[in-house]
Amino acid sequence: MIRWTSSQWTVASRRKTPKAKARKASTRKASTRKPPAPKAARAPPAPPMDPHVATGLAYCRDVVAGRVPACRWVRLACQRQLDDLERAKGEWRYRFDEARAGRACRFLELLPHVKGPKAGELFKLEPWQCFVVTTAFGWVRKDTGARRFRRVYIEVPRGNGKSFLSSGIALYGLAADGESGAEVYSAATTTSQARITYGDAERMLRKSPALLQKLGLRISTHAISQQASGSTFGALSREAKNHDGKNIHVAVIDELHAHRTRELWDVIITGAAKRPQSLIWTITTAGFDTSGICYEVRDGVVKMLEGAENDRLFGVVYTIDDGDDWRAESSWVKANPNWHASIDHDAFSVDATEALQTASKENNFKTKHLDVWCNADVAWMQMAAWDACADPKLQEEDFAGQPCVLGLDLASKTDICAKAKVFHRDFPAKNNDGSPKLKDDGSPALERHFYLFLHSYLPEAAVESSRNASYEGWAKDGWLKTTPGDVLDFETVSEGVLEDRDRHDLREVAFDPWQATQLSQQLQAGGVTMVEVRPTVQNFSEPMKEMESLVLTGRLHHDGNPALRWMVSNVVCHTDAKGNI
């Protein structure tokens, strides 16, 4: 039961001065004066506002007034709450129940952190979290008292305490939401992902044995249950064999952007429709797949915030606005409501610096740290760093007889056939202060540098018909070798590899097997070691990351070949959900 704590009021006693006594006496003597009209009875003072509700409303007002940095969607969500409170004073069918709003917040603050430097400390809701929780749980129907919002969607970058909220909301739905026989689920695409939220909730309870006992909860291998209400909380994944028969009271979906299909979402929607007070609580970061279920749900939230009627949906999106400089700290603060609470500023700055230096990491930073939906395909190389590695004085002749690895990508008609030759040299490594870097045994540490030369081939007909005007210039300057006719003469390529075998210490030739069977057999017959490298994520991801690192650290050197520069600038990098590129 919610009990208001009454404020204590004190009235200071007033001494009667001589002048006051005289005024009082004269009043008694003036019998002709009309007695003062009786004062209207004062209404009893309103009970003090719940502190969590007060914090949430103050946050809304500060956001709308511009005192708290926030993007357009957050401003619209806060304005909607303020407008709804005014609307509820009339004949609207919903009212804001301060007691229910504050009760959910107080429950969450009974739970301890289980991760990071605050592990063991009780949770303290930040102002934006007070806004989200009080809004989601405070609104009810005037006629039935049932909750207004059946779906909640919160999109916020990593590091802003969303995992704790997910686990806490699930426990509230299980043990404190007043629902008999509640079925509560932590839902994700895989069982291991679904058990993250469930596992955090379990650890919270184990760290709070008094709360565990007070709520009458029991932890088993795969579920948390409350015998008094017949309620259970468990993990639910797309991998589960049977989704039928679910009667969902609360479903917590963490990282909806990772759901590649809508299968589990549809299961939850169907299961939650059976209860009058069900709640689907979705909290996620942005992602890359704008054709998936997460972006579909997000689109509905955006339309609602822009004015589309949907009284049963509450949503807020923490991100930056169009036109904001993603490199500026002001944008970082705007997108991260926990910037001054849980965000590790040093780690954040490191990630930002890497994103500035490495093109393939830029969109990942925007997506995970600023909640910007980006295409996973981005330019791969920072071309300023690539250009800094150019040394026009480099000559292949200087590497005669030295170890060499060769990469071969064949083409026959319109595409360039490329042969890349890579050499290496080792130099004494140095510390940041310029002193020699030593190994653990005291011997000098070495740093390996790589030297890259590219030979390109095209049929003459392809050069003449191409829309790339640079081809003719590259052929004239020797960067592109042409062969007669409209089909590439592979004999020219084969002869070049055999010359490399004789001129250098050719260790092996890595090649894409497409169209290369016959040439590979010829070269193997010539004593060349051929290594097949298929264009797969497994084969490409780590080498691409290593090459990026070599360029950024200045340990890859090339001769400024303009054809090679053009090719590198055209490489598009796709990042998958596991960070492979």
pLDDT tens, 19-42? 444 444 444 444 445 555 555 555
33-58 burial: b if 16+ Cβ within 10 Å, else e: eeeeeeeeeeeeeeeeebebbebbbe
Reduced to 3 states (helix: H, G, I; strand: E, B; else coil), residue 219 is strand
Please tell me the least confidently modeled range out of 286-295, 440-449, 496-505, 555-564.
286-295
- Tokens describing residue 498: 């055999």
Pair of tokens at residue 372: 């910007």
Q: For the residues 329-350, what does the mean pLDDT come to?
A: 94
**CB-CB contact of 572 with 379 (8 Å):** yes
Q: What separation in angstroms does the CA of 343 have from each of 255, 257, 337, 347, 454?
A: 19, 21, 9, 9, 45
Task: Give residue 8's pLDDT.
Answer: 29
Q: How far is CA 426 from the centre of its chain?
A: 40
Q: In the numeric block, which tokens belong to residue 425?
A: 């040299």
pTM (predicted TM-score): 0.68
What number is the average pLDDT over the span 419-428? 94
Q: Cα-flanking dihedrals φ and ψ of residue 253, to 5°?
A: -115, 110
**List of residues 6+ apart from 19 with CB closer than 8 A:** none
Contacts of 378 (CB under 8 A, 6+ apart): 359, 360, 362, 363, 572, 573, 575
Tokens of 380: 């791969």
Determine the residue type at 326.
W
Contact 371, 319 (CB under 8 A): yes
For residues 169 and 137, the answer to whether their CB atoms sit within 8 Å is no
Write the CB contacts of 501 (distance below 8 Å, at least 6 apart in sequence): 526, 527, 528
What residues form DSSP beta bridges with 317? 155
For the beta carbon of residue 436, count every other beta carbon within 10 angstroms. Answer: 10
Q: CA–CA separation, 509 vs 407, rounded Å?
A: 6
CA separation, residue 551 to residues 51, 140, 386 (Å): 54, 59, 6
- In Å, how far are 50, 134, 149, 151 from 107, measured between CA atoms? 14, 12, 19, 20
What was the pLDDT predicted at 28?
Answer: 47
Residues 216, 226: Cα–Cα separation, whole Å? 6
- Residue 339 — φ and ψ, nearest 5°? -55, -40
Distance CA 392, CA 395 (A): 8
- Both tokens assigned to 215: 């709520």
| Exposed e or buried b per residue across 494-518, where buried means at least 16 C-beta atoms within 10 angstroms of its C-beta | bebbbebbebbebeebbbbeeebee
Per residue, what are the HEC states of 371-417?
A: CCCCCCEEECCCHHHHHHCECCCCCHHHHCCCEEEEEEECCCCCCCE
Nearest to 152 by CA among 71, 6, 250, 70: 250
- Overall average pLDDT of the 317-336 stretch: 95
State the pLDDT at residue 423.
96
Q: Considering only the C-alpha atoms of the chain, give the largest distance between any 2 of them, rounded to a whole number of Å.
A: 133
Mean pLDDT along residues 271-293: 90
Mean pLDDT of 252-266: 88
In 3D, which of 313, 341, 303 has the Cα closest to residue 129?
Answer: 341
Model pLDDT for residues 388-421, shown as the tens digit of each residue? 999 999 999 999 999 999 999 887 667 888 999 9
pLDDT of residue 240: 60
Q: Is the pLDDT of residue 6 over 60?
A: no
Encoded tokens for 292: 């998936």
What are 94-119's pLDDT values in tens digits? 999 999 999 999 999 999 999 888 88
In tens, the pLDDT along 492-530 reads 888 989 999 999 999 999 988 877 778 888 888 889 999
- Name residues whose C-beta falls within 8 Å of residue 517's C-beta, 6 or more positions apart in sequence: none
pLDDT at 117: 84
pLDDT of residue 189: 82
Residues found in the chain: 581
Give yes or no for residue 204 having a pLDDT over 60: yes
Opening angle at CA 392, ends 387 and 396, nearest 5:
115
DSSP assigned state of 149: -
| Cα–Cα distance measured from residue 301 to residue 315, given in angstroms and rounded to the nearest whole number | 6
